[in-house]
Structure 1
Amino acid sequence: MILRLVRAAPLLATLAATGWALSTNPLAAPLVERGATDLILTLEHRVRRTATAPWIEAELAAAVASEDVDRAAMLIDLARDLERDIDLSAAEAMIAAREGWLASAGDCAACMADIAACPTLAHLASCAVPFEMSPLGDANALRRAGVAWASGAEVDRLDAGLALVGLAATGAVLVTGGTSVTVKAGAGLLRTARRMGSLTPSLARHLTIPVRWSAVPAYLRGAAPLDTVTDMARLSVATAIAADMGRVREATSTAEALRLARLVDTPTDAARLARVAEAMGPRTGRTLAVLGKGRAFRATLRLSRAAAGTLALAWLCMVQIGAILAARLGAAVLRALTPAPRAMPGARAATPALGPAGPRPRR
C-alpha cells in the first residue's frame, strides 16, 4: 500500500494543484490586454514576418493598377523601412502624376462637393474634413435632412442625429468650459465617415440615434434637456465609440481615422483599434493593411498567466494519467502474449516425497 501511494504521489499532487487552480476560476477571462511595449513588439514582428519582398511587390502592382495613391505610398514607405529590394519606379511615377497642381485642384473641388470622391487622404484632410467637421457641415447635414423630409424621401437619421449632437456641442462649448469639444469632434468624425461610406452597417446601427424632432427647437434654445430629444442609452454608446475613434484620430490623423473606421463593426472593435493606433501611431494603417483586422486585433490580447498555468497543469494531469494507463495496458498485453511454461514429458518431480520422519531409507 505504501509503495502504491508513493507511485501515485506525483499524480495526486498534480490533481490537487489543478483543482486549486480551477477553484480560482482563471478561465472565466483567460485573455487580458497586452502591455503597450509588448503590443508594439508583437505587431512589428508580425508585420516584418508577413511583409516579404514578393508580398509587397504584388500588393504594389495591384495599387498601381487601381491608381490607389494612398496604398502605393504606404507600400513604398513599408518597403523602405523594412529594406526590401523592390522596384518602386512605377509606383513613384503614378504618385507624381497625381500630385500635379491642376489635377490636385480638380480633385479638391470634387472632394468638397462629394466627400466619397476624395481620391487621397491628403485631399480628404485638406479639402473635405475642415468643412464637414465645422458647424457649417452640421448645418448642411440638417439642410439635407430637411429637404428629404419635405419631399417625402427617407431621412438619413444617423447623419441628421450626429449633426444635431455636433451643433448642440458647438453651442455648449462655452458653458461646459470646452469639454464639449471632444463630443463635437467625435460626432463630426463619425458623420464625415458616414458620408464617405466608411461606416459598416453594423457600426451604423450602434450609432443610429433616435431624434424627437418636435423637441429639437426647444433643446437648441436651451429650454429642454437632452433626454427629451434622444435616447440617452443609445447616445452613451455612440459617445463611447466616438471617444475611441477620437483616440485613433489623435494617434494617427483625422483622414487616417476616417479610412480606418471601415474596420469597426462593434464598440469592442473601436476600443481595439484605438489600442493598435496608440501603439503604432502613424504606422497604424500599414499595420492593418499587412496583418488584416483579425490578426491585428487579436494581437492586443494575450493569455493570462493564471489561465496558462491552469492549462499546463491540466495537460500534465492528462499526460500522467495517459502514462499510467499505457503502462498497465502494455503489461496486460505482454502477459497475454507471453506463453505459459510447459513441463517436459517424462520429467519426475525434483522434490523427494517425505515421510513422517523424513526421507525413506534406501534398500
Structure 2
Amino acid sequence: MDIDFANLQRQYQEYKDDINFRIQKVLNNSNYILGSEVYDLEKALGDFTGAKYALSCSSGTDSLLLSMLSIDLKPGDEVITSPFTFISTAEAISRLNAKPVFVDIEKDTFNIDSNKIESAITSKTKAIIPVSLFGQPADLNVIELIANKYNLKVIVDGAQSFGSTLNKITDSNLGDLSITSFFPAKPLGCYGDGGAIFTNNVDYFEKIKMLRVHGQNQKYRHKYIGIGGRLDTIQASILLAKIPFFDQELVERSYVAEIYSKSLYKYFSIPVISSDRTSSWAQYTIRTENRDHIKQKLKEKGIPTAIYYPTPLHLQECYKDLRYKIGDFPEAELASKEVLSLPINAFMRNEIEYIVSNLIDLA
C-alpha cells in the first residue's frame, strides 16, 4: 500500500469543481492582489473564529512578523517561547533583532510549560508566544494571567491549530493576537504560502492592515516600515472553496486520531489532549525510544512518517550566540529523540488499519 501523508490530491478531487471555478473567476477578473476574494475570505475567517478582525497575509511566518511589528517589538526586547517548534516562531523574533528566550515544554502535550514561564521573565521581556503544537492550544488560562501580571503581550502561534479550541473558544480568538498558517499541509491549507492574523483590538487591526502593504495608509504614503505581506487572490479563492467543508474535515481528523489512540495506547506513548481543549490534529505524534528503527520499517511498508522536530531550537547552529547547551531544556531534547508523526488527514480510509497493524507488529 502506498500511503499519502496529507492526501492533498484526494482532497482536491473532492472539491475540484468549486476550486477550479473560483480560480477561473480570479483569472477572468485578473485582480490578483487584494481582489474581492481576499476580503471575502477574511470575513469567513472572522465568522469561523469569532474574532472581531481577521487579516490574511503572505505566510504563517509573515503573520508572526506582522504581529510583532504591531506590538512595536524593538531590538533587545525579549520574547518567551518554546524551543520545540518550527524555527519560524523564534526566527521572526530574531529578524526584528529581539531575543528569543526559551522555556521547556510539558512532556504530555509538547507545549510550553506555563509553570516555568514566570522564572524566565526579566525587565526586557515584551511578549510571550505560546505555540499550539501539533494542533492543541497551550495553557493560555495560566499564560494570560502571567502576561497580565507583568504587562506582557501574548501572541498565539496557531500555525498548526486553526480550528482548535480552549474552553470552547477557538485559539484564533485568544491572546492579544493569534496567527495561523495556510501552508498546503496544514489543517486548512492553500496551494502555496499563506497565513492570517486574528485580533479583537482595532488598533492592531488598523496597524497590521498598513504593515502588510509596506506601511501605507494611502497609496505611496507610508506611516510605518512594513513588508510586502499580502495574501494573493488565487490563494484566497482556494481557501474560500475549502472553508465550507472545514468543520467536517476537523471531525474526520479527530476520528482518525481516535482510532490511532484506541489502537496504540498499549504500545506507544500517544498524544494527550487536555480536557478543556480540542485539537485540530495537524499531526498525530507518538513517542518511542525505538523511533528511527520504526520509521525505517514503516517506510519499507509504504507508510510515510515525519519527525517534528529532530533538533530543538536552542541547539540549532543559528542560535549558538544565545549560549544554550545540551541539558538546558531536557523535555524538549528528549522529545526530539522520540517523536514520530503518523499520517493524518480527513481522507483516510483503509490506510488506518494498515498503519496500525504494522505499528503494533513493530512495538
TM range, smaller chain: under 0.3
Question: Larger relative contact order (C-alpha < 8 A, sep ≥ 6)?
Answer: 2
When the two structures are superposed, what TM-score results if normalisation uses the length of structure 2?
A: 0.27
TM normalised by structure 1 equals 0.27
Kindly indicate which of the two structures has a greater share of residues assigned to helix.
1
Structure with bigger strand share is 2
